[in-house]
């Protein structure tokens, strides 16, 4: 504290300060301090010096003659300021000993501060977020702070409560209210009416419909009662203050070395990796791998914990090589964790099972989208005779409220998106429902229509405009082409390949374009029978990217197809490039053009 204001320092610095204060007057060696702040992790001495300097700055060490930490040359550091030791107050959190439930919280200090501040001003605060995002951990930390400050706190874990009618009894059992089997919300309200109490209601989502009126009744009948709820969706009652728990910050791709140690997701990974790989060296290479892992895990705390605890099995490089959504779904965490937090699959099963049937269908069908998708795109892909447009219009915001999908924005348009692990889980459900082929085909067809629209307007709108509009859909195109050429619909794949010529080349995706063209060429005989013009387009594209001359241009149909195609697309194909292959394609096109155009 500086006066009455808290001073912010990082988690490692706190660990070091506590070690020094606990041993005030004694010299702690560099090795002892590093073992305290980075147990079972090898770090460079500069990391210790950086954190000690941060502590000194926070304490204003050296200002106006004040001394707190001194460096004992060649030996270590010593805390030299007077220390007054007080008996610790017994915890006043009822129901459970919260400090025994949770691991050390990393990277949530500001968010916890915000929760505590809102509870001082508001009677009902809800922490909302997806499974594994850390809602319970934040609620626990906020409750502990308020308990330590002298407030009365009762923690109610609702995960095992099967009915909202049983909630009053569950609360009464924790706060010491005598109750009989008929104990209800009116009896509970009467008991807490004149009490100053914080109720923490954890995991409300499975009881949400019946729990909401119960909470509203408590709020109005007990003016001294404050309620902190955690849920995967809001209670949606009057006076509820929502706080959306975000993922942890992840490092930029450019971050390296010491800069990575200040990123919350990296700090959590290192903290949870303790005991996994003894002697983990924090070299630049290892930190870079941890940064990549945290980016792939999108800052989701439970996912980071599950992966970090597998370091003993795979090592860092093995984790990076093996990390995919399938691995993440089944990776197991602490045995002492709540059952729904022991794997990501259990977490997602919990959420998915709470969805009404229609929303389950919307959820799984939207899994074909790889990036941000708009409402219009969702309607075109997911709606049919079994799922109406109204079902989707109502399902999208509901799924977002339930934290199964997230709101997003791309190319200036608002939309929705999936976290990677949620998308993989939903795609599993799509396959299990037998809907994958049909929805994937619709997804690819929708992209084809979008690209054909772009081609039609390519000459009327600035190229940069179309690039901005279409670049966010590139991952969707990749996914659709993968499906088409992997047993889905090669003809549709060839049409997609030909349709994204101007955009793909404008974005300089030459290597990818070459691969898709080769895939389309593998189905060239089928193309000839179905769509001769498309066959010619693919042959010409193959010539462009692989330097091969088009064949089968002697037939009347092919000459007419060439005439139709050559009057428009070649300038789009070749204008942005000047390689040998492109020059050859131009020469071939020029040679073909007179014959094609003169065909009867």
pLDDT at 23: 82
Between residues 335 and 375, which one has the greater pLDDT?
375
What is the spatial distance between Cα 132 and Cα 337, in angstroms, rounded to a whole number?
A: 12
Closest to 129 in 3D by CA, of 198, 200, 205, 201: 205
pLDDT at 182: 75
Of 58-62, 186-190, 357-361, 552-556, the least confident: 552-556
pLDDT in tens, 109-156: 999 999 999 999 999 999 999 988 999 989 989 998 888 888 889 999
SS3 content of the chain, % helix, strand, coil (to 5): 60, 10, 30
Tokens 């009662």 appear where?
Answer: 225
Residue 320 has pLDDT above 50, yes or no: yes
Tell me the three state secondary structure of residue 355: coil
Distance of CA 517 to CAs 505, 510, 542, Å?
13, 10, 6
| Residue 328: pLDDT band with limits 50, 70, 90 | low
Residue 484 has pLDDT above 90, yes or no: yes
CB 524 within 8 A of CB 565: no
Domain 355-434 in the same topology as domain 11-79: yes
What is the spatial distance between Cα 214 and Cα 406, in angstroms, rounded to a whole number?
A: 28
Q: pTM to 2 decimals?
A: 0.69
CB 131 within 8 A of CB 337: no
Mean pLDDT across 371-393: 95
pLDDT at 549: 41
Distance of CA 264 to CAs 110, 121, 167, 290, Å?
11, 28, 36, 12
Instruction: Specify the DSSP element, H or E, that contains 409.
Output: strand 406-410
Residue 353 has pLDDT above 70, yes or no: yes
Looking at the chain, the whole-number percentage of residues with pLDDT higher than 90 is: 32
What is the spatial distance between Cα 98 and Cα 218, in angstroms, rounded to a whole number?
A: 24
Closest to 389 in 3D by CA, of 433, 355, 358: 358
Question: Dihedral of the CA atoms 418, 394, 351, 406 (nearest 10)?
Answer: 30
What is the spatial distance between Cα 57 and Cα 95, in angstroms, rounded to a whole number?
A: 40
Structure tokens at 447: 């992209």
CATH of 93-244 given 3.60.40.10, 3.20.20.60, 3.40.50.11540, 3.40.50.300? 3.40.50.300
Q: Which residues of 388-416 are buried (b: 16+ CB within 10 A; e: fewer)?
A: eeebbeebbebbbbbbbbbebebeeeebb
Mean pLDDT across 265-280: 72
Q: Count other C-beta atoms under 10 Å from residue 324's C-beta.
A: 12
What does residue 397 show for φ and ψ, rounded to 5 degrees? -65, -30
pLDDT at 339: 59
Q: Where are the beta strands (DSSP E) in 158-267?
A: 197-202, 225-231, 241-244
Residue 312 has pLDDT above 80, yes or no: no
pLDDT at 3: 54
| Residue 340: pLDDT band with limits 50, 70, 90 | low
pLDDT at 341: 60
pLDDT at 405: 93
pLDDT at 279: 56
pLDDT in tens, 384-411: 999 999 999 999 999 999 989 999 887 6
Structure tokens at 575: 């204008």
pLDDT in tens, 79-101: 888 877 654 444 445 554 443 35
User: Domain-by-domain residue ranges, the chain?
Assistant: 11-79, 93-244, 258-344, 355-434, 445-600
Tell me which DSSP letter residue 385 carries.
S
Of 4-8, 29-33, 210-214, 316-320, the least confident: 4-8
Tell me the three state secondary structure of residue 381: helix
Please check whether the domain covering 355-434 is classified as CATH 1.10.10.10.
Answer: yes
Tell me the three state secondary structure of residue 452: helix
- Tell the CATH topology of 11-79: Arc Repressor Mutant, subunit A (1.10.10)
pLDDT at 283: 84
What does residue 246 show for φ and ψ, rounded to 5 degrees? -85, 165
Tokens 């200036």 appear where?
Answer: 412
pLDDT at 242: 96
| Residue 274: pLDDT band with limits 50, 70, 90 | low
pLDDT at 508: 65
Residue 576 has pLDDT above 80, yes or no: no
CB-count burial class (<10 Å; 0-12, 13-18, 19+) for 518 = middle
Average pLDDT score, the chain: 80
> Could you tell me how far CA 123 lies from the centroid of its own chain?
30
pLDDT at 352: 93
* DSSP assignments along 503-525, one per residue: HHHHTT-HHHHHHHHHHHHTTHH
pLDDT in tens, 418-476: 998 899 999 999 999 999 999 999 999 999 998 888 777 766 767 667 667 777 888 99
Looking at the chain, the whole-number percentage of residues with pLDDT higher than 70 is: 78
pLDDT at 428: 93
Mean pLDDT across 185-199: 88
pLDDT at 307: 87
> Could you tell me how far CA 409 lies from the centroid of its own chain?
15
CA atoms lying within 13 Å on the CB side of residue 600:
0
pLDDT at 16: 87
């Amino acid at each position: 504290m500086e006066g009455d204001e808290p001073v912010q320092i990082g988690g490692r610095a706190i660990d070091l300060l506590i070690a020094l204060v606990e041993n005030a007057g004694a010299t702690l060696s560099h090795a002892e301090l590093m073992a305290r702040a980075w147990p079972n992790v090898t770090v460079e001495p500069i990391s210790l010096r950086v954190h000690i300097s941060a502590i000194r700055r926070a304490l204003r060490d050296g200002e106006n003659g004040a001394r707190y930490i001194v460096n004992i040359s060649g030996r270590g550091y010593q805390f030299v300021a007077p220390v007054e030791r007080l008996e610790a107050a017994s915890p006043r959190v009822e129901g459970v000993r919260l400090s025994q439930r949770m691991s050390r919280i990393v990277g949530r200090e500001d968010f916890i501060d915000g929760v505590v501040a809102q509870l001082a001003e508001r009677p009902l605060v809800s922490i909302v977020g997806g499974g594994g995002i850390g809602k319970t951990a934040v609620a626990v930390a906020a409750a502990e702070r308020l308990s330590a400050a002298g407030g009365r706190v009762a923690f109610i874990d609702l995960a095992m409560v099967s009915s909202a009618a049983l909630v009053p009894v569950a609360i009464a059992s924790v706060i010491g209210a005598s109750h009989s089997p008929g104990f209800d919300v009116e009896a509970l309200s009467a008991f807490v009416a004149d009490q100053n109490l914080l109720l923490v209601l954890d995991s409300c989502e499975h009881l949400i419909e019946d729990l909401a009126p119960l909470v509203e009744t408590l709020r109005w009948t007990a003016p001294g009662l404050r309620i902190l709820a955690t849920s995967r969706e809001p209670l949606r009652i009057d006076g509820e203050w929502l706080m959306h728990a975000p993922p942890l910050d992840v490092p930029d791709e450019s971050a390296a070395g010491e800069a990575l140690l200040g990123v919350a997701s990296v700090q959590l990974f290192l903290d949870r990796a303790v005991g996994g790989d003894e002697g983990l060296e924090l070299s630049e290479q290892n930190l870079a791998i941890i940064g990549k892992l945290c980016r792939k895990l999108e800052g989701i705390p439970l996912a980071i914990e599950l992966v970090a605890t597998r370091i003993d099995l795979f090592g860092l490089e093995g984790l990076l090589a093996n990390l995919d959504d399938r691995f993440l779904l089944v990776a197991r965490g602490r045995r002492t964790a709540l059952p729904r937090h022991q794997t990501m699959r259990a977490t997602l099963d919990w959420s998915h099972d709470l969805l009404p049937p229609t929303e389950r269908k919307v959820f799984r069908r939207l899994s074909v989208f790889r990036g941000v998708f708009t409402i219009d795109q969702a309607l075109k892909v997911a709606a049919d005779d079994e799922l109406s447009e109204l079902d989707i219009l109502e399902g999208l915001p509901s799924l977002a409220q339930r934290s199964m999908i997230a709101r997003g924005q791309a190319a200036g348009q608002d939309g929705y998106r999936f976290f990677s692990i949620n998308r993989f889980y939903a795609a599993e459900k799509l396959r299990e429902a037998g809907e994958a082929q049909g929805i994937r085909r619709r997804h690819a067809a929708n992209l084809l229509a979008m690209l054909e629209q772009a081609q039609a307007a390519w000459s009327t709108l600035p190229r940069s405009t179309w690039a901005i509009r279409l670049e966010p859909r590139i991952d969707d195109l990749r996914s659709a082409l993968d499906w088409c050429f992997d047993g889905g619909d090669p003809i549709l794949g060839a049409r997609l390949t030909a349709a994204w010529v101007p955009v793909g080349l404008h974005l300089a995706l030459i290597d990818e374009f070459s691969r898709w063209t080769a895939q389309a060429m593998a189905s060239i005989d089928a193309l000839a029978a179905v769509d001769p013009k498309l066959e010619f387009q693919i042959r010409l594209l193959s010539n462009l990217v692989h330097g091969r001359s088009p064949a089968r241009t002697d037939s009347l149909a092919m000459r007419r197809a060439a005439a139709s195609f050559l009057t428009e697309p070649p300038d789009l194909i070749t204008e942005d490039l000047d390689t040998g292959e492109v020059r050859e394609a131009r020469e071939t096109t020029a040679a073909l053009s007179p014959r094609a155009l003169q065909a009867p």
